[in-house]
């Protein structure tokens, strides 16, 4: 059974357009409530679900709709307010609730929003549970009688709890005293959290991207727009810069010169430190987008490496299958399963800082042996229903490019799981050839895409 509403990261779309409407989201809350109530073991008590959100203005509307649907299904609702996605995963476990729900479209612009779910264990819902919710959506809402309705309660200490959790993932024998750090919260869900974590560990923190107005999330700030981070690091003569995305699960960092480091490079720092300390358990999971240089570096360090499909849920699935702890994407999603049940930008940054402080290095020194292959990614908008991947012209140009790369690079075309885009990636040793090849393939796709 294919999923009708759930994508790789929950239900997502443009606000006001199906399925991101208050009517549908209320029905989604009701359907999820019925499925969760049937699956949970609550010893006669009502099932409890946590709701958190990022700073989008539409979050107020969707929060109310979800709350109404869940309560109509007999679910008790716990409202955390604006908190990062990984905070919902943590708080769901800490409060012993049956599920957590995040209202966020992550790195997307404010016009979009989405609904994603966490299980009682702080992990993404299993596929079978998502399918059960979709099946329940085909049934009409039948509100419980008054004595069977749920209740709502606001969690007043959600932010403080999560700050303390993040700090607990950093070694107690180390601190960040003497470090000046720029922290960019993308005007998103970490705006009132991230700076406090690093400050309370001893750092001198300059906070940017911390003035959300409901419409500026990810706009010009954060992990997907790091220019302001680079400028602030140089301007303030900081040691390091940390950029998170709108919901706080993605991380990009900068060194004192303003040079940026992506998820592959940061994952390398963490993995290498753990390996040299004898604390690397198993291997590392990357994705189809992971740079070839990272794979070669893992081989040199004698660390097993595997690639998953693009998307943190697929990285997580492969980690669980292998019994490994460490994985991530070059986009900045990094998963450290010994620290958290999901990817967490703040926690991941602390693992990088742990390695730097323990070894007395900066980012440039810690990544000095990792020579990244030039990699060009072009997003091409594609009209709905257009299959460019199967077109003969696209297959032909890809074959030509692969022949030119002569085994010293690779081509990857994949549709986005969250947007109407086809992502064209070319990677290889020769920067000029890589750029020309990516533009060549993207040009052919654009002619056919109709986007």
State whether 241 and 132 are in the same domain: no
Per-residue pLDDT reduced to its tens digit, 118-147: 999 999 888 899 999 999 999 999 999 999
Q: Which of 27, 66, 61, 62 is nearest to 49 (CA)?
A: 66
State whether 84 and 143 are in the same domain: yes
Q: What is the pLDDT of residue 1?
A: 47
Per-residue pLDDT reduced to its tens digit, 224-233: 999 999 999 9
Q: What is the pLDDT of residue 19?
A: 96
Q: What is the pLDDT of residue 286?
A: 98
Q: Is residue 3 part of a domain?
A: no
Q: Is residue 164 part of a domain?
A: no
Residues of the chain short of pLDDT 50, as ranges, are 1
Per-residue pLDDT reduced to its tens digit, 373-391: 999 999 999 987 788 888 9
Q: Are 249 and 345 spatial neighbours (Cβ–Cβ below 8 Å)?
A: yes
Which of 156, 188, 208 corresponds to the end of one domain?
156
Q: Is residue 59 part of a domain?
A: yes
Q: What is the pLDDT of residue 407?
A: 79
* Structural domains in the chain (count): 4
Whether 104 is catalytic: no
Q: What is the pLDDT of residue 442?
A: 96
Q: What is the pLDDT of residue 390?
A: 87
State whether 103 and 58 are in the same domain: yes
Q: Are 251 and 348 spatial neighbours (Cβ–Cβ below 8 Å)?
A: yes
Q: Are 28 and 434 spatial neighbours (Cβ–Cβ below 8 Å)?
A: no
State whether 151 and 60 are in the same domain: yes
Q: Which of 407, 349, 57, 405 is nearest to 201 (CA)?
A: 349
State whether 304 and 253 are in the same domain: no
Q: What is the pLDDT of residue 41?
A: 64
Domain residues for the domain of 277 are 262-366
| Distance spanning both ends of the chain, measured CA to CA | 28
Q: Which of 83, 82, 74 is nearest to 42 (CA)?
A: 74
State whether 423 and 382 are in the same domain: yes
Total-model pTM:
0.91
State whether 268 and 252 are in the same domain: no
Q: What is the largest CA-CA distance in the chain?
A: 70
State whether 15 and 60 are in the same domain: yes
State whether 108 and 77 are in the same domain: yes
State whether 83 and 193 are in the same domain: no
Q: What is the pLDDT of residue 89?
A: 98
CATH number for position 106: 3.40.120.10
State whether 61 and 110 are in the same domain: yes
CATH number for position 380: 3.30.310.50
Per-residue pLDDT reduced to its tens digit, 382-433: 987 788 888 999 999 999 999 999 878 899 998 887 678 999 999 998 999 9
How many C-beta atoms surround the C-beta of residue 255 within 10 A?
21
Q: Is 154 helix (H, G, I), strand (E, B) or coil?
A: strand
Q: What is the pLDDT of residue 231?
A: 98
Q: What is the pLDDT of residue 451?
A: 52
Q: What is the pLDDT of residue 2?
A: 60
Q: Are 421 and 381 spatial neighbours (Cβ–Cβ below 8 Å)?
A: yes
Which of 334, 366, 398 corresponds to the end of one domain?
366
Q: Is residue 165 part of a domain?
A: no
Q: What is the pLDDT of residue 383?
A: 86
State whether 393 and 353 are in the same domain: no
Query: Containing H/E element for 298?
Result: helix 292-300
User: Which position among 40, 58, 104, 106 bears the catalytic label?
Assistant: 106
Q: Are 349 and 253 spatial neighbours (Cβ–Cβ below 8 Å)?
A: yes
């Amino acid at each position: 059974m294919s999923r009708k509403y759930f994508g790789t990261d929950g239900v997502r779309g443009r606000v006001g357009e199906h399925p991101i409407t208050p009517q549908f989201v209320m029905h989604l809350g009701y359907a999820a409530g019925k499925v969760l109530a049937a699956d949970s073991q609550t010893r006669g008590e009502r099932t409890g679900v946590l709701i958190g959100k990022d700073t989008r203005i539409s979050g107020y509307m969707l929060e109310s709709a979800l709350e109404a649907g869940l309560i109509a299904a007999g679910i008790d609702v716990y409202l955390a307010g604006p908190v990062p996605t990984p905070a919902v995963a943590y708080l769901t476990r800490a409060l012993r609730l049956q599920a957590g729900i995040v209202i966020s479209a992550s790195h997307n612009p404010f016009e979009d929003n989405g609904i994603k779910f966490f299980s009682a264990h702080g992990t993404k819902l299993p596929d079978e549970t998502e399918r059960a919710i979709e099946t329940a959506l085909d049934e009409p809402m039948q509100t419980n009688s008054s004595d069977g309705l749920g209740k709502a309660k606001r969690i007043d200490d959600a932010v403080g709890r999560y700050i303390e959790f993040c700090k607990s993932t950093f070694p107690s024998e180390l601190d960040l005293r003497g470090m000046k750090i720029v922290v960019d919260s993308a005007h998103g869900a970490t705006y009132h959290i991230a700076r406090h974590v690093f400050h309370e560990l001893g750092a001198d923190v300059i906070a940017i991207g911390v003035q959300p107005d409901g419409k500026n999330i990810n706009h010009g700030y954060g992990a997907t727009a790091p220019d302001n981070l680079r400028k602030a690091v140089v301007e303030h003569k900081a040691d390091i810069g940390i950029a998170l995305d709108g919901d706080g699960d993605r991380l990009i960092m900068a060194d004192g010169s303003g040079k940026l480091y992506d998820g592959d490079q940061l994952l390398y720092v963490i993995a290498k430190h753990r390996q040299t300390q004898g604390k690397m358990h198993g291997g590392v999971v990357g994705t189809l987008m992971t740079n070839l240089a990272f794979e070669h570096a893992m081989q040199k360090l004698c660390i097993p490496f595997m690639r998953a499909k693009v998307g943190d849920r697929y990285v997580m699935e492969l980690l669980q299958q292998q019994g490994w702890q460490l994985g991530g994407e070059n986009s900045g999603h990094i998963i450290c399963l010994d620290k958290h049940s999901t990817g967490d930008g703040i926690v991941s940054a602390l693992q990088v800082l742990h390695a730097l402080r323990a070894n007395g290095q900066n980012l440039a020194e810690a990544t000095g042996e990792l020579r990244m292959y030039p990699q060009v990614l072009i997003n091409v908008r594609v009209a709905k229903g257009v299959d460019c991947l199967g077109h003969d012209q696209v297959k032909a140009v890809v074959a030509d490019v692969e022949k030119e790369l002569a085994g010293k690079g690779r081509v990857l075309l994949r549709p986005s799981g969250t947007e109407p885009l086809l992502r064209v990636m070319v990677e290889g040793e020769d920067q000029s050839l890589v750029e020309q090849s990516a533009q060549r393939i993207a040009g052919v796709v654009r002619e056919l895409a109709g986007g």
